[in-house]
A and B are shown apart, each in its own frame.
Chain A
Amino acid sequence: GAVVSQHPSWVICKSGTSVKIECRSLDFQATTMFWYRQFPKQSLMLMATSNEGSKATYEQGVEKDKFLINHASLTLSTLTVTSAHPEDSSFYICSARQGRTDTQYFGPGTRLTVL
């Protein structure tokens, strides 16, 4: 089956630093990748949609200069949290979709803690 990995699985950083999270589709080419944020005991909040080779489309209220998304290849998308602050601490989950299918395959998530 389709497998999506994320790296790192968890990260702790100091306030003001930047953190990069990678999302890879391991056995398929992902034309579209999605980045979600999940707060404790809550549902997933879509942050942005990225298509390979083009700029990401951000959801309303998500700061594009703070959450930089790059989808440089069909198997890799990265989310960089710039100048992280404690309120950015969260569980970040990516998903990937092949072609125009309606099924997204999710990564295992990355827990970010900003001190």
Chain B
Amino acid sequence: GDSVTQMEGPVTLSEEAFLTINCTYTATGYPSLFWYVQYPGEGLQLLLKATKADDKGSNKGFEATYRKETTSFHLEKGSVQVSDSAVYFCALHIRGRDDKIIFGKGTRLHILP
């Protein structure tokens, strides 16, 4: 079945470090791919999305490129801040297939000042 696998956390980095959170997916169709972020005690916020191969989603300095050949959607940021500390969820959606979003397990990110 369709699934999302993302790197386990927690990931701890120093401020201004480079961030990569890996995400790979399995899908029989052509999914849209998402990164959601959850700050402590809050719901999820859409961070960025890409709807087809080679699309790049970007927001708040974060980027992710839809790689069909490697079935990946890795999240990157060039210089993280303490305020980026949160849990990041990779997710996919296949239109017409149950119409659900399938989430990865989430990666907790800690940024040290």
Tell me the bound Cα distance from A6 to B42 in angstroms: 11
If A43-B104, A43-B106, A93-B44 touch, whether A32 touches B89 (CB-CB below 8 Å) is no
What residue in chain B is nearest A5 (Cβ atoms)? B43
**Closest CB in chain A relative to B89 CB, distance in Å:** 7
- Residues in A with CB closer than 8 Å to B89 are 43-44
State A4–B89 Cα separation when bound (angstroms).
19
How far does the Cβ of A14 sit from chain B's closest Cβ, in whole Å? 24
Interface size of B as a range: 20 to 34
- Chain A at the B interface: mostly helix, strand, loop or mixed? strand
Q: Which residue of B49, B101, B104, B105 has the most chain A CB atoms within 10 A of its CB atom?
A: B101
Q: Which residues of chain A have C-beta atoms less than 8 A from B108's C-beta?
A: 41
- Which residues of B, 18-48, contact A by the 8 Å Cβ criterion? 32, 34, 36, 41-46
Contact B43 A6 (CB under 8 A): yes
Given A32-B99, A43-B89, A44-B89: A103 and B46 interface contact (C-beta under 8 Å): yes
A109 to B108, CA, bound (A): 18
Contact B103 A43 (CB under 8 A): yes
B44 near A102 (CB under 8 angstroms)?
no
Q: How large is the interface on A (under 10, 10 to 19, 20 to 34, 35 or more residues)?
A: 20 to 34
Name the B residues within 8 Å of A111 (CB-CB): 41
- Contact digits for A89-109, partner B, Cβ 8 Å, 1 yes 0 no: 000010100001011111111
Beta-carbon contact of A102 and B32 below 8 Å: yes
Q: Taking beta carbons and an 8 Å cutoff, which residues of A are in contact with B?
A: 4, 6, 32, 34, 41-44, 46, 49, 93, 95, 100, 102-109, 111
Contact of A106 among B36, B41, B49, B100 (CB under 8 A): B36
Q: Answer whether A109 and B43 are a contact pair too, CB < 8 Å, given A43-B105, A102-B32.
A: yes
A43 to B49, CA, bound (A): 19
Supposing A43-B103, A43-B106 touch, asked if A106 and B45 sit within 8 A by C-beta, the answer is: yes
Choice from A43, A46, A93 contacting B43 with Cβ under 8 Å = A93
